[in-house]
């Protein structure tokens, strides 16, 4: 079956913007890996390379004021939502100019002014928060939904099942988006889940669901666009399972020996960036030269972000007493 023309879905500038953001996210993550090896970023660092189509396709399909919540692999989602790359990089460096004043680090990015309601280091920690935000939205009649992103490794947590149950019972506007990259740390989804088809789990809660190709930015966009509007209109939850893949290990401390080289190469052949670039060129939306310029611009943005982070000050000692509840 012939693919729908890109121009029939979105205008040229939005299509190009989506490609720009995927490239920027890839360059940002690869630079983070370099800064980690240099000792500028410490602690845990979970990179998103390979999964860019999910963050970009989803965010472009949501409203600007819809809540977004994620797990700890969230740099790209924060940047696509509107966070400045320089401030995200500064946060990873632990600097005072970071998006969370250097107190959150890689796993706890948070920008309420962008309705980006956090990355959560606790596996499954975002589920009940998403349900609470959706409850508040419905109570206030705001018309905004909560888009909750999570990995396949989180679906065996009690919070997943409790949150699906309450979201359906209370008829709350939550869009659950599972980024199924096939592994929870080093354990494959087939070994950890009695039902590896994660989207089918919602039948026990009377929640509709769908599976989508998470390596295709337009497929993700279409699924989230439809799902988000259904959630908004029905005031009920919906789940999307996006099949994707992380090109690197679970974190920078993970050599990824549990995956075969053949498997990794098979998925890299489906890299969402060149796949989308080919479609843009074939439909005359961009030229090869323009794609090259986009890459160079992304590299420059990331280099400037690193310089900004390096030159930014460390938090003052007294700031340890700020932004706390007691």
Residue 319 included in any domain: no
Note down the domain range covering 235.
6-308
Q: Report the alpha-carbon angle 251-254-257, nearest 5.
A: 140
pLDDT of residue 251: 95
Provide mean pLDDT across the span 209-235: 98
C-alpha dihedral (13, 14, 18, 24), degrees to nearest 10? 50
Residue 104 included in any domain: yes
pLDDT of residue 324: 84
Provide mean pLDDT across the span 178-185: 96
User: What's the number of domains the chain is made of?
Assistant: 1
User: Binning pLDDT at 50, 70 and 90, where does residue 2 land?
Assistant: low
Residue 192 included in any domain: yes
Share of the chain above pLDDT 70, in %: 99
Examine the pLDDT at 292 and tell me if it is beyond 60. yes
CB 275 within 8 A of CB 52: no
Provide mean pLDDT across the span 45-53: 97
Residue 324 included in any domain: no
Examine the pLDDT at 1 and tell me if it is beyond 70. no
pLDDT of residue 282: 97
Residue 325 included in any domain: no
Residue 313 included in any domain: no
Residue 53 included in any domain: yes
pLDDT of residue 325: 80
Strands (E) in 66-189, as ranges, are 67-70, 116-119, 146-151, 174-180, 183-184, 187-188
CATH code for the domain in which residue 246 is found: 3.40.50.970
pLDDT in tens, 58-98: 999 999 999 999 999 999 999 999 999 999 999 999 999 99
H or E, element range at 144: none
182, two tokens: 């096939």
Residue 240 included in any domain: yes
């Amino acid at each position: 079956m012939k693919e729908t023309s890109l121009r029939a879905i979105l205008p040229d500038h939005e299509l190009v913007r989506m490609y720009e953001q995927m490239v920027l996210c890839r360059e940002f993550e690869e630079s983070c890996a370099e800064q980690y090896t240099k000792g500028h970023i410490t602690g845990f660092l979970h990179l998103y390379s390979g999964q860019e189509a999910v963050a970009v396709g989803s965010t472009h399909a949501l409203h600007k004021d819809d809540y977004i919540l994620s797990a700890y692999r969230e740099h790209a989602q924060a940047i696509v939502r509107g966070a400045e790359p320089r401030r995200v990089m500064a946060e990873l460096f632990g600097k005072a100019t970071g998006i969370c004043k250097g107190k959150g680090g890689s796993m706890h990015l948070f920008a309420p002014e962008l309705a980006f309601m956090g990355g959560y280091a606790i596996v499954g920690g975002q589920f009940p928060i998403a349900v609470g935000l959706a409850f508040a939205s419905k109570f206030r009649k705001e018309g905004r939904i909560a888009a909750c992103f999570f990995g396949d490794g989180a679906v065996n947590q009690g919070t997943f099942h409790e949150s699906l149950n309450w979201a359906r019972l209370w008829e709350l506007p939550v869009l659950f988006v599972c980024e199924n990259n096939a592994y929870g740390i080093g354990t494959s989804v087939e070994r950890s889940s009695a039902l590896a088809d994660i989207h089918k789990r919602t039948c026990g809660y009377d929640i509709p669901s769908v599976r989508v190709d998470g390596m295709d930015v337009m497929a993700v966009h279409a699924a989230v666009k439809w799902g988000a509007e259904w959630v908004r209109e029905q005031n009920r939850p919906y789940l999307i399972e996006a099949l994707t893949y992380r090109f690197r290990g679970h974190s920078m401390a993970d050599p990824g020996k549990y995956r075969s080289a053949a498997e990794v190469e098979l998925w890299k052949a489906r890299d969402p960036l060149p796949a989308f670039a080919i479609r843009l060129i074939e439909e005359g939306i961009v030229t090869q030269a323009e794609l090259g310029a986009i890459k160079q611009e992304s590299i420059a943005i990331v280099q400037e972000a690193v310089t900004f982070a390096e030159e930014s000050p460390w938090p003052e000692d007294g700031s340890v007493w700020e932004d706390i509840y007691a």
